Structures are given as structure tokens and as C-alpha cells.
Structure 1
């Protein structure tokens, strides 16, 4: 590598859960479209992009352990100033605290649901960002339900407490949609059949029994806490919705003007925003424009932005100028 040259690495994960009661349709399409965009617009080298999908085409499934391993490999390769990117399309869920009584969203933590249901939580993403080299960035796009706040303790820039002026549309989405959400009870019910632990137990008991050390750091006593008084970090989260909302998985429509492929509403909105604005856009602009587009399309979800003040107005994926398209090899 040329001395001083910034490197860019990406991990893209799409889980459709085919053949299960929780099947989605657009998640793999989302990450394949993002892969093309990373190469053509942002200059990522194809060899530096890891794609994990649950369609078995490459043999490496997006299990919890495989996703965390791919993310850890990116961090291990990163140097100060590098740009790391993670796109996740799939189900999300909320995990109650062990001591929570009743259902109170303020007592719940956000998590994504890999294909083996080995949850990856906001604590895992916090710890990953804390391991980043100084000056490097970790940009995460999560097109999943309850994805607001998926990097624990990251500063809210656009979200429930800091709105950007958009309002909910009175229209409705024109294509069939399904929420990318698995209720907590469904997650526990699925895991209990394999773990042998009674379904009345907290999800942590099931995950520790099934996955041991590969279970989320949230469920291990030695988890490390972020010092909020420390200098701003390189974590940047663009979430498909607020913590208390669901993200839409949009069915295919052969009559749609855009070709009608199944997709995530947020992922599709990000692609549309980038296509309409070839010049660099800030992270704040990408989220604000995606919010406007989803509102105009009738989706009742509000993308959010969590990052430091400086990163809110920094270019999305550190884009400084238009990149010449690179050749994209077939998968």
C-alpha cells in the first residue's frame, strides 16, 4: 500500500431468512446494490468488500460469529484516517434488560438478528467503535427495525429528540411491505427449541447456552463501558428508523418504474439520494434527504443519524471527489 494513502473496507450483510416464518425479500438485493455503489462511486476495491448473505452462494453465512469476525478483521486492518463501512439489511429486535418489569421501550436495547439468531447488540457495536484507530471512521447503515441507537451512547444528530423538520405524510406506500422486525418473544421462542432452556428465561440464557463466547458482549459480565467524557469517536450510524419504529421490506413489483425489485425502503432511498446527487453529500444530508423521500413515498419511518458533531457534517464515506468507476467482478 502507498504510504499515507487512505484505505476503505466494507462488510455488507443481507439476511432474507428464506424458508422460515420470518422471511424477507429485499435484503440481499440491498447489499448487492450497495456493493456496486461502493465500487463505482466511492472507489472501494472489490477485494476489500466482504459480502455475507444467507442464500448460500458463497458458503459463508451471515451468522453472528461470522459477522463479528468480518467486522473485527476490518478494524484489525484499519489505520488512522481509514474509512470502514458496514451495511446491514435484515431483521432487528429489542432486548429487555434482565431486571426490566413489563414492556418499557426505555429499558430495551437494540440488536440485529443474524441468520442463526445470535444477536449482535448495541454494546457490540460500541466496543467495535472503541477499538478503532484514532482518526478512522466506522459508518454503519442499518436497514432494520428499531435500528436507532444501534451504536450504544453515540450522539443523536437526527432522531426523536433532534428532528430535522420533516413530517409524517398522509399518503401510504403503494407497494406491499413487511416490517423488518422480530418480536422479542419470537426470538426467544426460536432459540429455546435449540438451546433446551425454558422459554421463560431471558434471551441471554439461550444465547450463552448455544453460542458461549460468541454470544454478544452484552451478555458477558466483562463488557467494557464507553467513557462518554472522552474525545468524540469515529462511529457514524445511519439507521432506517427510530428506536420505536419499524423499517419496511418492500415486495417486488414488475410494473414499478424502478424495475420493481424487492428492497428495503431505507436502502432504496439512500441509493436514490446518492444517484440524484453526484457531488459529495454530508452524513446529515444523506439522512435528511432519505427522510424526505420516504415521507413523500408514504412510509411511516424516520431515518436517524448518530455521530459526533464533526462527523455529522463530514462527507458520507469521506467522499472528496467523484471517483472513476472501477470494474466490478461477478460474484
Structure 2
């Protein structure tokens, strides 16, 4: 699953800054803001039950360094479940640290970092500079400052950032404050913010043409039957037409409830749908694909997957013959949606299924969880496939390596590769948690948001309701700051 990741790894943090900060605080016994490398090595060996090669001996780690190491080791050694064990360690020590990212203690630290002249108050320019450093557009939040001439205490600062976090949940201000404190600790004080710039607004032209392929499979009458996948794609279809101006004639819907064999979500029909979607696509066009159904994994026999596993989509007829002949491997998804995407064509994919975080081999995950989902969209592979499943160390690019790519491709997925997506009853309707959370977020944001903001709003809709953490993948960091679909809604 990591061929593209090794070439151009656009990976945002999949562990929340607040969770990592809590772990860091538990380990930072002297409160120095740095961890001793030998202690880090010992801790990893203990929680994983085996030696983990961290090369940490003799090193010191700030919060950003520590987070980066965890992400890399988790990708390098999937069997050891480094991130999951680390979060379990935090869970077992719940209560030892304040879980609120905007706690008074954190706000006191933030006030001290910003109050470099020791005057005991912060003017608006200092706060604006900090938010710009966090890559937040001042225009989005300036109204929140109207009643504050200046901030004169940590308590006032806490009130301000909490109000902003509640008013603009898609900006994830709470997590950005924690990240800012980590960067400040690594810098030994206030970081250099003189060259900080907010994300540039990208002017988006109206797409020349818009087409969508929507696949929803309930596996009616099968032992693996689901209840919400057809509802997912029908709800998505309604959103595309009403909110984003898609023509119904340019939407191909593959479901089991249309009494039309050509519209059944069989493997051959899905593959024909891929060809239809890309037929005639040229610069300026917008393509959309959603798959709601079962996902699974099987051993990679081609030698192209560094972790030894292929993620796969499970068409309606996946049980009619041997795998991989009757499933759609992530290799084919990659070849279709990345390699086959013409330059200048925008494409959005939504995978509301299990083991979907890297289904397109574009890794940009945001957070992780370790509780099982209810009513999961996971299909057990055939016994002979499951028996041959192999695991091992992955070959992954070092954090921060890679360069921006030119493909205009975004992939939303229901969960991380080690999780299952929920098929649940929400608001009295059977549907997928990701699709529900995504469409709800679009309504809350008025149909217009940057991709990273939409992911944050979707994730908040699922938080405390479902354990799965949606993922967002793209081909370069700059794409995260673009407006969803490039449309004003």
C-alpha cells in the first residue's frame, strides 16, 4: 500500500496533537519540554513488548520530534501497533494529565510564550501573528476579537480561544494551540513567526464538466448483508445535484435496487463505470467517485506492496469466485484514479468501507482510534486467502520527505487501515458513519470549506459517537488548502 507513499508522502499527523501532548507530559518527568532518547527507547520496548529500533539513544526529543517518530515507527512496524499501544498507555493513565487541549495550564503556557516583553498583556497583533503561524486566515476569526481590546490574563486568553474553537470547529484551534506549544518548547520560547503566512486563497474556475460514479452495495440476501450503503450513495447523489450542480444525466448509480442488471454493482459493471467516468475527461473537468460497501484485505502476491497486503473493494459478486479475480485491488484503484487521472482534472473519491485509509495509495491520515466499530463494513476473505495473510515491516519514506505532485486527487476514507467503518442507524436511517458525517459537515459549513476544514468538521461529527477516524489523502500538501470541489456551493 505504500508505493506512492514512498515516492511523495503527503502525510499529515494521524495522531491528535492533544493526545500526543498528554503522552509527552506523562513521560516528561522534569517538565523540561524534552525527552531523553534512552527513556523513549525503553518506553517503546515496554509498551510494544519487543525491541523497536528507534535510534533514539543519546538523542533529545521535543513534542514534534516525538510525534514524527511515533508515526514513522507505526508505519514501519505495523505488527507492533506502536500508535495503538501508545494510546492504550495514555488510556491506562487517564486522569494523570488534563485531557483538555485548552486547559488553563496550557493557556498559561501560551500566554507566557506570547508575552515576550513581560508586559502582562497581549495585543491583537501578537494574537493575529500566532494564528497566521497556525495557518488560519485572520478574516475567518477577526469578528471574535471585536470585544477584546487586548488580553490581560491567561483566563481571558482561555475564554477567547475556547469561544473561537466552538464557533469555528472546522479550524481545530484546540489542536493547533497544542501543536504551537510543542513548537515553542522545541524552540526554547516563542518561535520565529516573522515569515508566517496563512494558506493562500486559490481562485477556482467553474468545472467545464462534472461527472460522478456512485457505487452502493447492501449485499441483499447474503450473510454479509449491510443496511446503509444504498442510502449512502443516494444521499450523496442528492447532495451533488442540489448543492454542487451535478446533472442527474452525468451521474452513474450502481445499486441493487434498480431492477436493472446493467446497474448492479458487479465487478465488471464497476470497472465499466471507471471507464465511463474517465471517458473524455480533460483539463478543467471535475470527477467524483464514491464506494460504500465491504472492504477487505488479502496477501499481495505481486510483490508490489511493502507491507505484504492488498486492500480491496468487494463487489456484489465477490463471493462467486476466487480472490483476487473477484475483488478490486487497491492497485487497480491507484492505476485508475492516480495514474489514469489526466492533468488538470480534479477528482474526489469517498470510500465508506473498512481498511480504506490508503486504498488509493495516497497517505494523509489525521488520527487513530483503537475501539471496535459497531456493525462494521469488513468482509472476511475466503479461508485460503486469510490463511496466507502475511505481515512484516514496511518500507516507508522518512517523515517530511517527498515533493509536491501535480495530480488534483483527494480521497476521503471511512477509517484508518487498522479500523472498521460503521454501518449504523443514524437519525432513524441506516447509513454509513463517514457519509453521514461528511454530508452533515457540508450542510453545517454552507457547502464551502477547504478540504482540511471539511475533514475536521466530519471528524467532530463522528467523535464520541463512533470510534473510527476518517482519513484524507491527497497528492501534495497544497491540495489540503483548496476549496472542496472548487465550488462556492
What is the aligned counterpart of 2:260 among 35, 58, 76?
58
What is the aligned length? 261
Distance 1:20 1:281, change over 3 A: same
Matches within 5 A, 1:241-256: 241-251=415-425
Q: Which residue of 1 aligns with 2:212?
A: 10
CA 1:148–1:77 in 2, change beyond 3 Å: closer, same or farther? same
User: Which of the numbers 168, 180, 184 marks the counterpart of 2:377?
Assistant: 180
In the other structure, the counterpart of 1:43 is 245
More strand per residue: 1
The Cα of 1:178 is off from its aligned counterpart by: 0.8
**Separation of aligned partners in 2, 1:70 and 1:120:** 13
Contact 1:242 1:304 in 2 (8 A): yes
User: C-alpha displacement at 1:201, in angstroms?
Assistant: 8.0
Match of 2:446 in 1: 278
- Output aligned runs, 1:49-198, within 5 Å: 49-59=251-261, 60-98=263-301, 106-117=307-318, 118-128=326-336, 129-152=338-361, 154=362, 156-159=363-366, 163=367, 177-185=374-382
Secondary structure of the residue aligned to 2:463 is helix
User: Structure 2, unaligned stretches of length 5 or more?
Assistant: 1-205, 319-325, 390-401
Q: Cα distance 1:278–1:22, how it changes in 2: closer, same or farther (>3 A)?
A: same
Q: Say whether the 8 Å CA contact 1:142–1:238 is kept in structure 2.
A: yes
CA distance in 2, matches of 1:113, 1:294: 25
Report the counterpart of residue 460 of structure 2 in structure 1. 292
Native 8 Å contact 1:16 1:28 kept in 2: yes
Tell whether the 8 Å contact from 1:78 to 1:133 is kept in structure 2 after alignment. Answer: yes
* Structure 1 match to 2:222: 20
Q: Spell out, residue by residue over 1:73-93, the C-alpha distance to the aligned partner (whole angstroms, 9 max, x if none).
A: 111221112110001110000
2:296 and 2:314 in contact (8 A); partners too? yes
- What CA distance in whole angstroms lies between the structure 2 residues aligned with 1:46 and 1:187? 42
Q: Is the 8 A contact 2:216 2:254 kept in 1?
A: yes
Structure 1 distance, partners of 2:437, 2:222, is 27
Matched, 1:32 2:234: yes
Secondary structure of 2:464's counterpart equals helix
Compared CA separation, residues 99 and 80, structure 1 to 2 (3 A) = closer
Residue 304 of structure 1 corresponds to which residue in structure 2? 471
Say which SS state the counterpart of residue 237 (structure 2) adopts. helix
Find out whether 1:237 has 2:411 as its counterpart: yes
Tell me which protein shows more helix as a share of its residues. 2
| Equivalent-residue separation in structure 1 for 2:300 and 2:346 (angstroms) | 29
Aligned 8 A contact 2:357 2:365 in 1: no
| Contact 1:157/1:312 (<8 A) preserved | no
Q: Secondary structure at the match of 2:282?
A: coil
SS in 1 for 2:312: strand
CA distance in 2, matches of 1:232, 1:132: 10
Change (3 A) 1:261 1:232: same
Residues 1:244 and 1:40: Cα distance change in structure 2 (over 3 Å) = same
Cα contact 1:85–1:317 (8 A) shared by 2: no
Going from structure 1 to structure 2, the CA distance change for 1:277 and 1:13 (only over 3 Å counts) comes to same
Q: State the shift of 1:278 in Å.
A: 0.7
Check the 8 A contact 1:168/1:295 in 2, yes or no.
Answer: no
Kept in 2: contact 1:169–1:296 (CA 8 A): no
Structure-2 separation of matches of 1:316 and 1:147: 20
| Shift in alpha-carbon separation, 1:187–1:318, aligned structure 2, 3 A | farther
Q: How many Å separate the matches in 2 of 1:32 and 1:295?
A: 24
Residues 44-67 of structure 1: CA deviation (Å, up to 9, x unaligned): 011000000023433321111111
3-state SS of paired residue (2:354): coil
Using a 3 Å threshold, how does the CA distance of structure 1 residues 105 and 29 change in structure 2: closer, same or farther?
Answer: farther
Give 1:185 shift. 3.1
